[in-house]
Amino acid sequence: MTPDQITLIQDSFAKVAPISDAAAEIFYARLFEIAPEVKPYFTNDMTEQGAKLMATLGVVVKGLRDLDKIVPVAQQLAVKHVDYGVKAEDYAPVGASLIYTLEKGLGDDFTPDLKDAWTEAYTVLSGVMIEAAYGQAAAE
């Protein structure tokens, strides 16, 4: 990720944060639509789950300029998610749902450059998470 991409991501997330409840609803609705097999992973209150998602995303976005601090947290989170039944292949629909949510939430502000920046960030972090949870072969 370039410094400009990080700036784009952080600026765009600042626009999403005020609509975090709606963004979380869009995210999970889309995720369950394109990957219904992941729905059983979510047994808690979805409003609470959405708040956790947005809080975690906020921490990651804020820390993108210091990946050395974010990566270990992301790795721990990935390992923990294995206990919930999450598989390596579940990361792709999560990424697609994230991009969809940003596109819907930001409207015309979701430019191709912004999409590329978010896609790059998700690809990097999900790769690290998949490797931590499932090994190098799964991350490739």
Q: Which two tokens stand for residue 57?
A: 């995303």
CATH numbers and ranges of domains, the chain: 3-139 (1.10.490.10)
- Residue 84's pLDDT is 87
Tens digit of pLDDT for each residue in 2-14?
Answer: 999 999 999 999 9
User: Are 60 and 124 contacting, i.e. CB atoms less than 8 angstroms apart?
Assistant: no
- Residue 136's pLDDT is 65
**Angstrom distance (rounded) from CA 15 to CA 9:** 10
| Per-position DSSP letters for the chain, written without gaps between them | --HHHHHHHHHHHHHHGGGHHHHHHHHHHHHHHH-GGGGGG--S-HHHHHHHHHHHHHHHHHTGGGHHHHHHHHHHHHHHHHTTT--GGGHHHHHHHHHHHHHHHHGGG--HHHHHHHHHHHHHHHHHHHHHHH-HHHH-
Q: Which two tokens stand for residue 110?
A: 């979701």
Query: What residue ranges of the chain have pLDDT lower than 50?
Result: none
Distances (CA, A) of 77 to 1, 25, 29: 21, 21, 22
User: Are 31 and 38 contacting, i.e. CB atoms less than 8 angstroms apart?
Assistant: yes
- Residue 89's pLDDT is 95
User: Are 139 and 131 contacting, i.e. CB atoms less than 8 angstroms apart?
Assistant: yes
- Residue 140's pLDDT is 60
- Residue 138's pLDDT is 58
Tens digit of pLDDT for each residue in 96-107?
Answer: 999 999 999 999
